[in-house]
Structure 1
Amino acid sequence: MAFSPFQWLYSILQWILTSIFSPDPPAPGARLRRPKIAIVGAGLTGVSAASHCVGHGFDVVLFEAGGKDHLGGIWSKVNSTSGLQIHSIMYRFHPGVKFDEGYPKQNAIVGQVEKLWKMYHLEDKTLFNTKVEKVYKDKQNRWIVNDPSNGRFDGVIAAVGTCGDPKMPHLPSQDKFKGEIHHSSNLDGIDGKGKKVTIIGGGASGVEALEWAVETGASEINVLARSDKWIVPRNAFVDILLAFNIFGQETLFSWVPENILRLFFYRDLKDIAPADQGLFTETPMVNSEIFRQIRQGKAKWLRGDIEDLTEQGVQFIKRAKGVPKGGPGHSLLVEADVIIMATGYKRPSLSFLPDEVFEEPYGPPRWYLQVFPPSHPSICANNCTYVNAIGTVGNYHIGIYTRLLLMFLVDPLTTPKTFWMKRWIDMTSTLKALAPTRAFDFFTYSELIYWFCFVVLINPFRWKWALFVFFGIGKGLPAQVVGHEDRLRNGLGYKKSYLD
């Protein structure tokens, strides 16, 4: 491997972040304290959140519906050729994670999840093949998962993610097609060499399938997309810069980055750029490879609607730029030997949570900080109420959300009241009332950091926890303060913390 100064500096940066911010794993067999947290899902977010909890001395149980081969969540189910679209500096989902390259593949990502799982001794705290059907409270106000035999918990982290089973819609006249049909997540072992490959879906899965088709030697590649979607360069600096929009929505100046992208990135392919959709309305695709493939004539990008399937391929209505879905266009036959369904994944259900957390107008994602239901601040739906965003993914915020939950549970004076949680939601909705999307359907990472800062600063009792919440350090001093507060509360007959 050629020497790369940037990669060397990145390795140094990861070492520094791990040394300073990664909590120490507990000693094998160490007795962990309350609060005890139930974590639903042993994917990337679940394992990371569990590592933060036990690293700070608090007990957990991980519930995973699948077997051990599902450790890593969606990453355990995708193709071995799948990799990050964004730079891994924006995907360090725990301070202890270390990537050897900028855009690691599936096995490297799952490997880091497994490393955390073992490093923090989560083997004995994980219940595989245990689907969570319901979560409810007992008479002592503690959480029960499915039934009391699984223990009782002070808090719950829902970490089921946003990608579950593959979506595999039935295409019109699908039985007529004589070729192969596969989902984009199931391409390992499929041979596309010399074949005409048609990819249905123009999202991130579609781009990944396009890259697979090029690598496998397909003779012809067509991507059929129903709508245009913003594509941004695979460049960490550009991606971080776009996330600096603290308003989390389209602004009077959004035309600047949009036109810069059209001029310097899309260039001769401006027809693919969205005509009537702002950049800050939906999660963009992060990819530079797709334009190179189109310019080299290795792939075609067609906008339109599927009319029917025939023996030879897809009867397709090609629409001009600006014509809406289902609008008029030109009918053509897109011949195919292999059809790849890049149609995404079903969103996992949160229906195991109590019914009251779904009551409108405060149902997900309209929750406190998007993840805490106002009726139950001891629940944190970490990384599974997300809809659309621009910014770093699976990164800094997993630890912050987890430590916010720990702070709420450990220090009653920091726990938000239902009334004020709803007022924060109302305030954020009002601030984004003019946004093309609803307040919590799109955000930027800078806006997310603003949310965190605001909720810590607004409550003086949370100030002592600031270093712990944001960086995972300095728990000792606020814990001592809470101990003194406990003695005062005990004398006045108030609820004590778990630090006694």
Structure 2
Amino acid sequence: MTALSSEKLLHAAKETVLLPFTLFTFFLWEFPKSFTQFVLRVFYEFIQLPIILIFKPPLPPKELKRPRGRIAVIGAGLTGVSSAAHAISHGFDVVIYEKENKIGGIWTSVNKTSGLQLNSILYRFHPAVLWAKFFPHRDEILSEIERIWTEYQLEDRTRFDTRVTSVRRVAGGEGGEEKRARSKWLVNDRADGEFDAVIVTIGTCGEPNMVQFPGMPGYKPKEHAKNEQKHDSDNKTEVPRQDHNFEGEEHPPKQAAWSSQSKTMEAIKPKRGQNSIRAQGFPKLGDALQETPAQDEDVALLDKIGDVHGASTIVGGMAGAWDTVEESTWELGRDQSNKKEQGFPRPEEAYTPGPDVQEDTKRPEDAQNETQRRRKKQHTAGHNRRETHDKNRDADGEVFEKPILHSSQLTASGTDFGGKTVAVIGGGASAVEAVETALAEGARHAIMVVRDDKWIIPRNTFIDTLIAAQPFGREMPLSFLWEKFITLWNYHGVQDLTPAHLGLFQGTPIVNEEFLDHVRAGRCEYVRGDIERLTKDGVRVSVRGRDSKPGDAGEEKEFSADVVVLATGFKQPDMEFLPKELFPEGYDRPNLYLQNFPTEDWSVLLTNSAYINAIGTVGHFHIGIYARILMTFLMDPGARPTPHDMKLWVDAVGFVKRGAKKGALGFFTYMELTIWLLLFHVFRPDRLRWMFFILNGWGVPPLS
């Protein structure tokens, strides 16, 4: 007791001595800092009020007795909620279809530290948005999405846990292209009746993309994976096979979890309410830009693995394929316990193949010949298991047995980064964010391995706006001046990191300043090269120089790591539910009318779901403008374009931008998009009477 009392007295004495210093620090630093932040917040909210008062659409009546039409919105992310709010405020009834059990889109799948790369004044996805911070993070963004969703009475109009599997056209109106016949649409076969139009807002970021490298737990070379699939099909029997999860619901055998086929992966997804990243309330990294929170753009695995985009501004470029293997080892976006339920090894554990996951444990007991079949299958499976083990432990005989995470799992996984070396594979916005998050969480050192370089532009609203104001949407003779300026402004001391083969207006840049400071200070090592394999201690890379290209010969080096983060972005969502005839050859994504309307039917709108690369923001005024263009088409037959008109527009843009490295519509700037929307009225004088409605949202209230 005496010792304890002495300790308390000593502690009290220290507090007394430090009290003046604590008060001095508070009044000299903390109080002024907090007061300044409060003043800035009030000022920032105040300057947004005029925008809200002038441009906020009217709230809809409690009941739309005479709707002007019905619109189906596919996707309840930022773009979907905004589009639906615009439609209902002008008298159109809407139904929102969302495959998840919450709104928010890509922002529900990112880390809590993910935020906008551009100033939020350029991210006003709806006129009613009121930002509290210049660069809001995930939770504030989700809060604003939910507020708009609630304020515009969209709760009862949203169908959660509803995956759209088909959108079918029903003939409506008089036929003939020149008569501009209207279409009627059925979603999921008449579940909610007929619709006059469909807005697809699924974005460009789907499921997290986990790339496979030699040395990863469960790695399967392409040849072995194909042989195994063939072996599986050859050994199928007609005996019923069932497996059950802990809730008693049927799902395919666990071996399906290792397949890369999208249908199989979909079959084993956890039901709503199970332990998943989204079920825990984490946003889908962006609608980012759809907001790419740090709306990711990372490594695009192109034809073999799928497009990768980023999330906070349209900062999601394509960087090339990291691997030559088609099969993905893991499907990310689920927590570790859920993976374990599905038969996946935990990243922290060494993967020693256990009992064959293909083995069916629920065969009829009364089938006498099943025992022999099972023994034969076990023998074959054991051989395959040993073969897989041997291939895993190839000539190098090494498997990385430490944690392997996807960049969207950093805060959800609970991984301790304190004092560790973190290797980040990827070179996009999510890779940059992963480095910053790991270092902020106490990592001793970070290594970022990039396949090729991307431009990193400063987080400066004025500079970013000027860059996005380039009207040509491609590299021009004087574009090198911008590149020189960015190099001097942002790359001082690390000029070797500037891209040698990519112009500023040829891909989506990363908006960041802190990352390069980490490189300059030595906290992060920037490695340009190709991943050869993971080893038991880290990552082996073929390191290349600045002037090289992916695949060129390099110097083999091994980098030690305690954690590997795969910043390989997200798979591009497919649109198989839409009729294929909407996208004839030469006029598929991104080659669409106004970059968002299929050339075969103006009543389908793909807002923020067709772009590939751009400089600008996916969360700004264009969302409302495109929605009002669609509404104008529905209200005014004379304003509608024919398929011939829409194809002519695509061809004209292609002619003007011929020779552009990314294609005519594969890259554009926000100024270029704005010019398109202005010329939409100029070249068709009969649309001028709708100009104030389309651009500002004025003049079309709900029908009383």
Q: What is the alpha-carbon distance in structure 1 between the residues aligned to residue 410 and residue 650 of structure 2?
A: 42
The answer to whether 1:273 aligns with 2:307 is no
Contact 1:87 1:102 in 2 (8 A): yes
The aligned amino acid for 1:204 is A
Deviation at 1:9, TM superposition (A): 4.3
Deviates more, 1:21-30 or 1:186-195: 21-30
- CA–CA distance in structure 2, aligned partners of residues 392 and 146 of structure 1: 32
Q: What amino acid sits opposite 1:324 in the alignment?
A: K
Q: Pick from 29, 43, 46: which aligns with 2:63?
A: 29
Q: Which residue in 1 is equivalent to 2:93?
A: 59
1:47 maps to 2:68 = no
Match of 2:111 among 79, 96, 113: 79
**SS, match of residue 651 in structure 2:** helix
Name the SS of the counterpart of 2:452 in structure 1: coil
SS in structure 2 opposite 1:438?
A: coil
CA distance in 2, matches of 1:150, 1:453: 35
| Residues 32, 59 of structure 1: 8 Å contact kept | no
Query: How far apart, in 2, do the equivalents of 1:27 and 1:415 lie?
Result: 28
Matches of 1:186 and 1:360 in 2, distance apart? 38
2:419 aligned to 181, 185, 194, which one?
194
Q: Which residue number corresponds to residue 473 of structure 1?
A: 698
Structure-2 residue corresponding to 1:287: 512
Kindly indicate whether residue 214 of structure 2 is the aligned counterpart of residue 172 of structure 1: yes
- For each residue in 1:400-428, what CA deviation from the matched residue of structure 2 results, as whole angstroms up to 9, or x when unmatched? 10000000111100001111111111000
Provide, for residues 106-134 of structure 1, a one-character-per-residue CA deviation record: whole Å limited to 9, x for no partner.
11111111001100000010001111111
Contact 1:90–1:393 (CA under 8 A) maintained in structure 2:
no
- Within 5 A, what are the aligned runs for 1:341-420? 341-420=566-645
Q: Could you say which residue in structure 1 is the equivalent of 2:190?
A: 148
Q: Does structure 2 retain, via aligned residues, the 8 Å contact 1:248–1:447? A: yes
1:433 alignment partner in structure 2: 658
Equivalent residues in 2 for 1:126-141, closer than 5 Å: 126-140=158-172, 141=183
Q: Work out which of the residue numbers 36, 51, 56 in structure 2 matches 1:3.
A: 36
Given candidates 84, 92, 106, the residue that maps to 2:138 is: 106
Partner SS, residue 465 of structure 2? helix
Residue 7 of structure 1, CA deviation: 4.8
Q: Is 1:313 aligned with 2:538?
A: yes
CA gap 1:252/1:113 in 2 versus in 1, 3 angstroms: same
SS of alignment partner, residue 149 of structure 1:
coil
Q: 1:244 and 1:84 mapped to 2: Cα distance?
A: 19
Residue 326 in structure 1 maps to residue 551 in structure 2: yes
- Secondary structure at 1:148's aligned position in 2? coil
SS at match of 1:222: strand
C-alpha separation in 2, matches of 1:474 and 1:397: 18
Per-residue CA deviation, residues 63-102 of structure 1 (Å, 9 max, x unaligned), is 001112xx10000111111111111111111101111111
TM-superposed CA distance for 1:220, in Å, is 1.4
3-state SS in 1 of match to 2:492: helix
Secondary structure, in 3 states, of the residue corresponding to 2:84? helix
Cα distance change of structure 1 residues 205 and 119 upon mapping to structure 2, 3 Å threshold? same
Give the corresponding residue for 2:359.
none
- Alignment correspondent of 2:124: 92
Q: CA deviation at 1:397?
A: 0.5
Structure 2 counterpart of 1:3, which letter? T
Return the letter of the residue paired with 1:398. I
Q: Cα RMSD (Å) of the superposition? A: 1.5
SS for the counterpart of 1:268 is: coil
1:248 Cα shift? 0.8
Match of 1:444 in 2: 669
User: Which deviations, in whole Å up to 9, do the C-alpha atoms of 1:431-490 show, x marking residues without a partner?
Assistant: 0002222011000000000000111111122100001101111237xx9xxxxxxxxxxx
Q: How does 1:196-235 map onto structure 2 within 5 Å?
A: 196-235=421-460
CA shift, 1:353, in A, is 1.0
* 1, 5, 12: which one aligns with 2:46: 12
Q: What amino acid is the match of 1:252?
A: P
* Aligned equivalent of 1:484: none
TM-score (norm 1): 0.93
CA distance in 2, matches of 1:184, 1:167: 10
Deviation, structure 1 residue 393: 2.9
Task: Supply the distance in 1 between the matched residues of 2:638 and 2:682 (Cα, whole angstroms).
Answer: 14
Q: Within 1, Cα distance between the matches of 2:66 and 2:570?
A: 37
Give the length in aligned residue pairs.
477
In structure 2, the residue corresponding to 1:430 is in which secondary structure?
helix
Q: Which amino acid aligns with 2:404?
A: I
User: What do the CA deviations read for 1:275-331 (whole angstroms, capped 9, x no partner)?
Assistant: 121100100000001011111221111100111111000011110111110112111
Q: Please say if residues 382 and 398 of structure 1, whose CA atoms lie closer than 8 Å, have aligned partners that are also in contact.
A: yes
Quote how far apart the aligned CAs of 1:105 are.
Answer: 0.9
TM-score by length of 2: 0.66
Could you report, residue by residue, the CA deviation over 1:364-397 in whole angstroms, capped at 9, with x for unpaired residues? 1111001111111000000000101112331111
Distance 2:420 2:490 in 1: 30
C-alpha contact 2:73 2:94 (8 A) present in aligned 1: yes
Measure, in 2, the Cα distance between the counterparts of 1:158 and 1:191: 39
Mapped partners of 2:627, 2:446: distance in 1: 44
Task: Report the CA distance between 1:249 and its aligned residue.
Answer: 0.7
Q: Deviations over 1:206-232 (max 9, x none)?
A: 011011111100011100000000000
Q: Distance in 1 between matches of 2:471 and 2:66?
A: 39
Please report how far the alpha carbon of residue 8 of structure 1 lies from its aligned counterpart in structure 2 after TM superposition: 4.5
**Residue 491 of structure 2: SS of its match in structure 1?**
helix
How far apart, in 1, do the equivalents of 2:531 and 2:480 lie? 32
Tell whether the 8 Å contact from 1:32 to 1:54 is kept in structure 2 after alignment: no
Could you tell me which amino acid in structure 2 is paired with residue 152 of structure 1? E
Tell me if the contact between 1:36 and 1:155 (Cα under 8 Å) persists in the aligned partners. yes
Give the aligned partner of residue 205 of structure 2.
Answer: 163
Q: What is the CA–CA distance in structure 1 between the aligned matches of 2:212 and 2:91, rounded to whole Å? A: 49
Check 1:127–1:32 CA distance in 2 against 1; reply closer, same or farther (3 A cut).
farther
Q: SS state of the match for residue 413, structure 1?
A: helix
1: CA distance between counterparts of 2:159 and 2:205? 21
The question of whether the paired residues in 1 share the 8 Å contact of 2:115 and 2:136 is answered with: yes
Letter in 2 for 1:169: V
Q: Indicate the residue corresponding to 1:493 in structure 2.
A: none
| Distance of 1:323 and 1:362 partners within structure 2 | 34
Contact 2:583 2:599 in 1 (8 A): no
Amino acid paired to 1:57: G
Unaligned runs of 5+ in 1: 480-498
- Tell me which residue corresponds to 2:328: none
Contact 1:63–1:127 (Cα < 8 Å) also in 2: yes
Query: How far is the alpha carbon of 1:190 from its aligned partner?
Result: 2.0
Asked whether the equivalents of residues 608 and 618 of structure 2 are also in contact (C-alpha less than 8 Å), the reply is: no
The answer as to whether partners of 1:281 and 1:437 remain within 8 angstroms in 2 is yes
